[in-house]
């Protein structure tokens, strides 16, 4: 039917109203884009930082961080250079636990473990089972290197523990809001067990490097690989600098959540702003967006009994 001048005004109005209603129904059926705050993870926001004074932000902060390194200013920080790290310590799960479990297979049996958050300065013990979640604020490529740390401050040989072809098929690409777990949930076992190789070993020094492009000199293999001291030293010299650290207030000891488990298992799922945030934020004032960012995560062991000074008997 074609509307013309001879069509009654009431009929024209009815047909126009019908068309508007149909268009509104069509638009409502289309998938709606969520607000930006629900889709974009903001790791860095000074409103989250507890600086001992009332925040002046218009919106309340969903989380709060305390400054661990007061000598490193929180000004001049590019938001996409921040790296979030959560260290998890596993313990046997109990029926009353509310957090998510991770299952490890030990021969024919399976064991349920409950991951709990550990503060960056928390003390670890030999035999502890640990995992690490890493979240970045930019697109790039992730590399994780482990070194033994000794009581005199010296360090052992550097080993590249991520990526390997056994985890995500060797894919080490990262995007803002995506969670990378080391080791992954489907690794066997899905945790590291801490063990001293020397009586004076004081901990582990874990280096997290995010590069905007892949490091072409590295060949990803199916196992951890030792890096040359010269190669690793050049990374530290070129991209390393003193980093500041923020610790989530009241986060230590909290269990692994469903959102964190899902994000770690699904490499395409991004964490939302209102979902659990990393336990520790590492930042470097003045770091440029185009450069690789390298930070150090120190895992400290409790002192072994042989190094504990015994009281002198008089």
- Break the chain into its structural domains and give their ranges: 36-305
Mean confidence (pLDDT) of the chain: 85
Q: Per residue in 31-83, pLDDT tens?
A: 444 444 445 688 998 888 877 655 455 554 568 999 999 999 999 999 999 99
- Residue 10 to residues 6, 16, 21, 79, Cα–Cα distance (Å): 12, 10, 17, 59
pLDDT (tens digit per residue) in 254-311? 999 999 999 999 988 999 988 999 999 999 998 988 899 999 999 999 875 444 444 4
Instruction: Tell me phi and psi for residue 237, to 5 degrees.
Output: -70, -40
| Residues in the chain, overall count | 314
User: What are the φ and ψ backbone dihedral angles of 16, each rounded to 5 degrees?
Assistant: -65, -40
In the predicted model, what is the mean pLDDT of residues 170-179?
94
Instruction: Tell me the helix, strand and coil percentages in the chain, rounded to 5.
Output: 20, 30, 50
What is the dihedral sign for C-alpha 242, 116, 258, 170?
positive
The 10s digit of each residue's pLDDT in 198-227 is 999 999 999 999 999 999 889 999 999 999
pLDDT at 10: 58
**DSSP per-residue string spanning 240-281:** B---EEEEETT-TTPBP-HHHHHHHH-TTPPPPTTSPPPSEE
Query: For 93-237, where are the E strands, in sequence order?
Result: 102-106, 109-118, 123-124, 129-136, 140-150, 159-162, 173-174, 179-182, 192-193, 201-211, 225-226
User: Does pLDDT of 96 surpass 60?
Assistant: yes
pLDDT interval class at 145 (50, 70, 90): very high
Contacting residues for 314 by C-beta, under 8 A, at least 6 apart: none
pTM value surpassing 0.75 = yes
Q: How many CA atoms lie within 13 A of 134 on its CB side?
A: 29
Please report the pLDDT score of residue 168 as a whole number: 87
**Is cis: bond before 83, omega within 30 of 0?**
no
């Amino acid at each position: 039917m074609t509307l013309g001048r001879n069509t009654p005004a009431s009929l024209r109005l009815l047909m126009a109203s019908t068309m508007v209603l149909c268009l509104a129904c069509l638009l409502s059926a289309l998938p709606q884009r969520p607000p930006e705050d629900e889709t974009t993870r903001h790791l860095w926001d000074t409103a989250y930082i507890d600086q001992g004074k009332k925040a002046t932000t218009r919106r309340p902060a969903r989380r709060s961080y305390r400054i661990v390194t007061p000598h490193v200013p929180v000004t001049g920080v590019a938001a996409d250079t921040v790296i979030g790290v959560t260290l998890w310590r596993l313990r046997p799960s109990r029926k009353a636990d509310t957090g998510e479990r991770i299952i490890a297979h030990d021969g024919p049996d399976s064991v349920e473990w409950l991951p709990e958050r550990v503060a960056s300065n928390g003390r670890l013990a030999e035999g502890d089972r640990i995992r690490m979640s890493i979240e970045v604020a930019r697109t790039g490529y992730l590399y994780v290197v482990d070194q033994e740390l000794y009581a005199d401050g010296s360090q052992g040989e550097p080993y590249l523990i991520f990526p390997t072809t056994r985890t995500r098929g060797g894919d080490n690409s990262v995007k803002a809001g995506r969670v990378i777990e080391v080791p992954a949930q489907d690794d066997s076992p899905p945790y590291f067990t801490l063990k001293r190789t020397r009586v004076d070993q004081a901990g582990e020094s874990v280096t997290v490097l995010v590069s905007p492009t892949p490091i072409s000199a590295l060949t990803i293999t199916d196992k951890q690989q030792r890096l040359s001291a010269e190669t690793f030293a050049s990374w530290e010299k070129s991209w390393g600098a003193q980093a500041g650290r923020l610790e989530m207030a009241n986060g230590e000891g909290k269990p692994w959540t469903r959102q964190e488990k899902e994000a770690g298992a699904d490499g395409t799922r991004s964490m939302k702003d209102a979902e659990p945030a990393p336990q520790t934020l590492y930042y470097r004032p003045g770091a440029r967006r185009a450069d690789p960012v390298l930070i150090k995560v120190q895992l400290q062991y409790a002192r072994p009994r042989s190094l504990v000074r015994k009281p002198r008997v008089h």
